[in-house]
Amino acid sequence: MSQQQSHYIAVIGAGPAGLFAARELALQGDCVVLINRDIKPGGLAEYGIYPEKHTMKDGLRKQFSQVLGSAGITYYGNVIIGTQGDLSLNDLRKLGFQAILVTAGAQGTKWLGLPGEDLQGVYQAKDVVFHYNKLPPYSQWEFHFGKRCAIVGAGNVMVDISRFLIREIKVDEIICVARRGPSEVNFTKEEMKHVIANLDVDAFEAELLRVLPSLQAINQDPDVGWQKVLEALPKADPKFPNTRFRFEFLSSPTRMLGKDGKLTQLEIEDNTLVLKDGRVKARGTGHKRLLDVDTVIFAIGDKVDVSFGLPVDSSEFVKYPTPRFPLDGRSYEAFDPATASPIPDVFMGGWSRHASSGVVGLARKDGTNAAKVVSQYLQTLPLVAPDLSALAGKMSALPKPIITIKELKKLEAAEQVEAEKRGLPEFKFSTNEEMLQAIEVAAVPEQASTPHRGP
């Protein structure tokens, strides 16, 4: 392959899936342009991991830096792709890209459509996580956390948010509202160890007794749930005083109630458990109760961005049900139900392919697999001479600062200086304006706002 001739691919999103997909393609000799919504790469590895996990985040950043330094990869940050963004998918096609790999994560917000979702004090977990991880513009949103907080969902995100509410906000009580029983919680003991010391054990035992008939009805051993929740106790972090953590198992939210636009209560419906096709399902009983809370956070997963420009079904982009290039029985190809045909040049990886699945390692693997599928498709196409100068001209014409690897290195150095100056293990600028000033790029001042609530 000559230096001028290669395949030309756009990878949208620079989280773990996009970064390692770009590396996989570049290793094949392809010309890869990595386009990222945020100024900094990393995605949820940068803005979704709990802030105090410095060793993990530092290791990931080093890996990402190595990827971005690979030959054949060009980076553009602070660029939004979508029907309402800076560039559309058709704009990318006009620039000569032969394939587009979407690894932009699940950027949409998932709601249940319940009454009261527009009340002050009702939030979506991803917005909260982005807020305390200092991702612009979420870092500047105004959140009103009260003293009694309910978190709907029983996974690692619930645990991370509980850790934040206990340590930083110092709330009085956190209630984990779980649709099913203690055996079906999805958090790991490695995460739960950070909050388990605040568990009200007496309340937990009473809750197990309350749901025991439903567990026994499907022959579920309550000791399994007991162990699954409490197995983190031997390695528990020290207890933070004044916060009580407890569970409401077999409970589903039905509506939020408020006064003067502010949340005051969460209504929940009691569930029972049934076995269907060998799987445990929750079924509402019709009996409802009220919890006095002033904050509700929904940690129920995510969905893709419906304005991106691809067909969406439920929370995911539509995948070709009979893919041309299947890998491990999975489809990585975009599909248009309106025409009942694949979108031939668009592929998906990571959470863009399957929203809210797995952790960093799984996202990385899925992105790499997606790149292998793209490579199969590219073998059916001729080599071209990528016009990177035309792309650079298009980027420079956008009415906003565009970030390249050169600016990223300056930003990294500026944040390291700030960390050393403040005696911190790491420092992160919390607004785009501060980041752009640090790398001496003109910026338009950002305006603080409140998070969107409701569907």
Give 165-209 as a 3 state SS string: HHHHHCCCEEEEECCCCHHHCCCCHHHHCCCHHHECHHHHHHHHH
256 and 183 in a single domain? The answer is: yes
Mean pLDDT value across the chain: 92
pLDDT at 449 over 90: no
Could you tell me if residue 337 is inside a domain? yes
> b/e for 264-286, b at 16 or more Cβ within 10 A?
bbbbbbbbbbeeeeeeeebeeee
What is the predicted pLDDT for the residue at 431?
Answer: 95
- 361: which 2 tokens? 């390692």
pLDDT at 448 over 50: no
pLDDT at 452 over 70: no
Domain boundary among 281, 298, 315: 298
Domain with residue 202: its CATH number is: 3.50.50.60
* Under 8 Å between Cβ of 74 and 30: no
Lowest mean pLDDT among 252-266, 273-287, 303-317, 350-364: 350-364
What is the predicted pLDDT for the residue at 2?
Answer: 38
- 385: which 2 tokens? 């001479």
Give the helix, strand, coil percentages of the chain, each rounded to 5: 35, 25, 40
Domain boundary among 298, 327, 350: 298
pLDDT at 217 over 80: yes
What is the predicted pLDDT for the residue at 356?
Answer: 64
Could you tell me if residue 124 is inside a domain? no
15 and 32 in a single domain? The answer is: yes
What is the predicted pLDDT for the residue at 241?
Answer: 82
284 and 330 in a single domain? The answer is: no
pLDDT at 443 over 90: no
What is the predicted pLDDT for the residue at 451?
Answer: 58
314 and 268 in a single domain? The answer is: no
Domain with residue 369: its CATH number is: 3.40.50.720
- 62: which 2 tokens? 């080093």
Q: Which domain holds residue 371?
A: 8-107+303-438
For 58, the 3-state DSSP assignment is: helix
182 and 254 in a single domain? The answer is: yes
What is the predicted pLDDT for the residue at 442?
Answer: 44
Cα–Cα distance, 429 to 419 (Å, whole number)? 10
Q: What percentage of residues in the chain have a pLDDT greater than 90? A: 84
Q: How does pLDDT run across 61-105, given as a tens digit for each residue? A: 999 999 999 999 999 999 999 999 999 999 999 999 999 999 998
DSSP string of 388-428? HHHHHHHHHTSSS--B-HHHHHHHHHHHHHHHHHHT-S---
395 and 290 in a single domain? The answer is: no
What is the predicted pLDDT for the residue at 106?
Answer: 81
DSSP state of 49: S
Could you tell me if residue 128 is inside a domain? no
Q: How does pLDDT run across 12-53, given as a tens digit for each residue? A: 999 999 999 999 999 999 999 999 999 999 998 899 889 989
151 and 294 in a single domain? The answer is: yes
User: If pLDDT is split at 50, 70 and 90, which confidence band does 441 have?
Assistant: low
User: If pLDDT is split at 50, 70 and 90, which confidence band does 268 have?
Assistant: very high
Beta strands in 30-186 (DSSP E): 31-35, 73-76, 99-102, 122-124, 148-152, 173-177
What is the predicted pLDDT for the residue at 421?
Answer: 94
Could you tell me if residue 52 is inside a domain? yes
406 and 278 in a single domain? The answer is: no
231 and 334 in a single domain? The answer is: no
What is the predicted pLDDT for the residue at 13?
Answer: 97
pLDDT at 359 over 80: no
189 and 229 in a single domain? The answer is: yes
Could you tell me if residue 120 is inside a domain? no
What is the predicted pLDDT for the residue at 315?
Answer: 85
Cα–Cα distance, 428 to 435 (Å, whole number)? 9
165 and 287 in a single domain? The answer is: yes
Q: In what order do the strands lie in the sheet with 262-276?
A: 251-259, 262-276, 279-292
200 and 60 in a single domain? The answer is: no
Could you tell me if residue 2 is inside a domain? no
Cα–Cα distance, 258 to 227 (Å, whole number)? 37
What is the predicted pLDDT for the residue at 357?
Answer: 58
Q: How does pLDDT run across 172-212, given as a tens digit for each residue? A: 999 999 999 999 999 999 999 999 999 999 999 999 999 99
For 39, the 3-state DSSP assignment is: coil
Q: How many domains does the chain have?
A: 2
What is the predicted pLDDT for the residue at 358?
Answer: 59
Could you tell me if residue 263 is inside a domain? yes
pLDDT at 352 over 70: yes
* Under 8 Å between Cβ of 132 and 47: no
Domain boundary among 275, 298, 321: 298
Could you tell me if residue 391 is inside a domain? yes
pTM for the full model? 0.91
